[in-house]
Amino acid sequence: MATNPTPTVVLVHGAFADASSWTGVIAELQNHGIPVVAPPNPLRGLASDAAYIASVAAQIDGPVVLVGHSYGGALISVAGTTENVVGLVYVAAYATEEGESLGELQGRFPLSPLVSNLKEATYPVEGAEPAVEVTIKAEAFPDIFAADVPAPVTKVLAVAQRPLAAAAFTETASAAAWKTKPSWALVAAADQAINPEVQRFGAKRAGAAIVELEGASHAVAVSRPKEVADLIREAVRATS
């Protein structure tokens, strides 16, 4: 079967967002003739979400570059062990080690304002007690998630949040694909959701090629799509 020599970019959104958060990045990549897929991230748990992303990647003909924003970074660290994945790009993301949870990685550094501004709710689980999920309090959302995004847009993003299962913070990663695959990382220097120190630490540990954007919020893919796409294009070029 013929495969496309240009890797397909798979964009994995994080918590409190959906695949539409990649809209500007998708347009940039498509304008450069790069094939893109932006699947929905279930946001129900590290192992199950990573398995879903791995299955998306495995069903693509040819090489794949996995791109993870935020919590999506932890997923690509696990899903990246899939055979046809040739590179990993972390965007304002967690780059987890095997056996490490998000809580552990985050706990090494001062907590971001996100932690004290989460709102809990429950969701039904078949055959079990309801589970807890979290979103960002709507009034805190603009400052924490998207301080450099126009106010009318943040109002929409705040009400369109996808909740994350609280269990995702304590589940440990089963793999660290960055040990065997080349990686790139974009650090959002003004991030109030994931402490930029957490981003830098994970990226350095992964041996990633690092780009840092001054003044960039957690929603850097929304506010600075060109710079995000430029880094992804660099990964695509290097792995083609």
Q: What does each of the 240 residues of the chain score in pLDDT, given as a tens digit?
A: 455 589 999 999 999 999 999 999 999 999 999 999 999 999 999 999 999 999 999 999 999 999 999 999 999 999 999 999 999 999 999 999 999 999 999 999 999 999 999 999 999 999 999 999 999 999 999 999 999 999 999 999 999 999 999 999 999 999 999 999 999 999 999 999 999 999 999 999 999 999 999 999 999 999 999 999 999 999 999 999
Q: Could you tell me which of 206, 208, 210 has the C-alpha nearest to residue 179?
A: 206
Q: Could you tell me which of 97, 98, 40, 102 has the C-alpha nearest to residue 71?
A: 102
Report the amino acid identity of residue 169: F
Cβ-proximal residues to 200 (8 Å cutoff; 6+ apart), any chain = 187, 210, 212
Question: For position 182, what pLDDT does the model report?
Answer: 98
According to CATH, the topology of domain 8-239 is Rossmann fold (3.40.50)
Let me know if 31 is exposed, middle or buried by CB neighbors in 10 A (0-12, 13-18, 19+).
exposed
Q: Could you tell me which of 192, 190, 193, 231 has the C-alpha nearest to residue 210?
A: 231
Question: For position 66, what pLDDT does the model report?
Answer: 99
Asked if 120 contacts 134 with a C-beta cutoff of 8 angstroms, the reply is yes
Q: Hey, is 205 helix, strand or coil? A: helix
Asked if 49 contacts 42 with a C-beta cutoff of 8 angstroms, the reply is yes
pTM higher than the cut 0.95: yes
What is the helix (H) or strand (E) element at residue 133, kind and residue range? strand 131-136
What is the helix (H) or strand (E) element at residue 174, kind and residue range? none
Burial 190-200 (b: 16+ CB within 10 A, else e): ebbbbbbebbb
Question: For position 5, what pLDDT does the model report?
Answer: 82
CA distance linking residue 37 with residue 8, whole number of Å: 7
Residue 212: strand pairing partners: 187
Domain boundaries, the chain: 8-239
